[in-house]
Structure formats: structure tokens, C-alpha cells
Amino acid sequence: MTQKKDMGKILRQFGLIFVALFIILAMSFVSPVFLTSQNITNILRQISLNGILSIGMTFVILTGGIDLSVGSVIAITGVISGSLMANGCNWFVACIAALVCALICGFVNGWLISYIEFQPFIATLSTMTIGSGIALAYSNGKPYTISDPSFIKIGQGTVAGIPIPIILLFIFCAAGLVILNMTTFGRYVFAIGGNKNAAKLSGVRTRVVQLAVYVISSVCAWMVGLILAARISSGQPIAGEGYEMDAIAATAIGGTSMSGGIGSLSGTMCGFVLLGLLSNSMNLMNINSFYQKMVKGLLIILAVFLDMRTKGKKD
């Protein structure tokens, strides 16, 4: 049974790679600008936000949970850091202050789910709504203009010609791969998603691990919030709306089971790269954004269907 599941994951990832290669090949004929260095850089910039967010979402979903509040954390990060810098605060201190707020959000989510035993969907739906209200109330519904050049470099700067958001994406991917595949904590994440009661009986501190994955998710949302605010030079109270759906889509498409215990970060990486390629291709072909949302929805349905088929049952 385990070999069947492993084979299913391998086939799905190879399938995603094949689809990505097909898109690249097809678009190279359809659009002369698709394979230009500028467009490739644009694709990597576009996927950096969803990529970092998807890493945190993968940790959460592997435990059998879900985090709908990441969009609100992005908004809170933007308005907190933006307001502090607008009042003369050092950009680094502003970022740390926003990080503290993000950690609190993650801790609240984890506490509600692991200790109070709320359903993850209900808990994070509630904190998503509260967080959105906090961002709007704090900013009075108005954006904060950011002019600090040191901060703006986070979203617009480069290092050795490579955009900083892309570098940050690689750093988060590498850290996520190490944590999930090479640490005891990573094994515990899979164990809880596979069978929480069995993991608890074997000595795993399930509550602590569950709380930790929501904190990790919020840290990823914090980083995305900083990049987004720096990219648009503004802390927007409505920033991050809908971002949670793209992260969930990338995770599901990448083969992570929505019921937990099965999946991989490498699969999620294939998922957000594929979404980025699709989005860029549809933009180059001037396809309406409404239809793009429909395509993402259909991909999620397909991913969940494949998950059900792989496990040999309907959840």
C-alpha cells in the first residue's frame, strides 16, 4: 500500500513536470517573448510570493489542517511596517515589529486548534476575518506610503543581478526541504497527519508540533507581506486578499493530501511553478482574469480527485 502511494506521488510529480514542459514548449511558439530573460525573471518574481506562502501552507496541510488567515497576516504585516516607517521608524525595527504581530497570529491559530481543539477551517476562518478587520481598523482603511530605499530593496532590489524575492524564495524552499526531510520535527509533521492519536501514543508532542506549523505558516506570510509592501512601496490594508487560495491550490496540485500525512515540499514547488507558468501564459495570451480563476479552480478539483484515486477511497 505504501509503495502504491509512493508510486502515485512520483507519477503525479512527473506529470506536473511534463505539463510544465508542455506549456513552455507551446508558449515558445505562441509568444516570442515567453522565453526571453525578462519574462523568465518576471515569472520567477510572480511565483516568489505564492511559493513562499505555499511552503508554510504545506506544513499546515501535512498535519491535516488548513490556514485561511495568511492573507490577513500579509495585510497586517504591510500596515504595521508601513505605518512605523511613515512615522520615522527604522525599516529593520519595523520589520521585526511586523514579525512579532505575525508570530502572535500564528500562535493564536495554533493554540485554538491544538489546545482548544477548534476545527482548523473554523479557527483560521475566524482569525482571517479578525485579522482583516484589524488591518483595516489600524490603518483606517488607508494605505501607508513607504519611501525607505533600504526596505524597498526587499521587493525591488537585486543581488548579483538576481531579484531579492527570488533569492528569498530559494532560501525558504531550502529551509523547508531540510526541516521536513532531515529533522525529527519534519517526521512528526507527517506522523500527525497520518494518525494523530498513534503519534501521540508514541510520544510525539502533537499539540506543540501543531502549534509550530501555524507559526511557520505565519512567518512565511510575514515574509510575503514585506516583499509585497516593498514591491508596491505601500502598506495596503487589503493586501493579501485571495492569496490563501493560491497557496492551497499550489499545495494540493503538488500532491499534498488535504487530509494530511501524504505529500512533499518538492511537489508543492512543482505546483506553484506550474501555476506561475499558467498565469504568465494566460496573461501573454490576453485571457481574462475571470477565466484564469476558473482554471485554478478546475486544477484544484483535479488535484483532489487524483488524491482520492491515489488513496483508493473517497474522503
End-to-end CA distance of the chain: 17
CA distance 226 to 77: 7
User: Which stretches of the chain drop beneath a pLDDT of 50?
Assistant: 1, 313-315
Q: How many residues does the chain have?
A: 315
Q: What is the distance between the alpha carbons of residues 60 and 110, in angstroms, rounded to a whole number?
A: 10
Q: Looking at residue 313, what is its pLDDT? A: 47
Query: What's the whole-model pTM score?
Result: 0.90
Give the C-alpha separation, 45 to 70, whole Å: 19
Q: Give the per-residue pLDDT at 315.
A: 44
Distance CA 46, CA 96 (A): 25
Q: Residue 271: what are its φ and ψ, rounded to 5°? A: -65, -50
The predicted pLDDT at position 187 comes to: 95
The confidence score (pLDDT) of residue 3 equals: 53
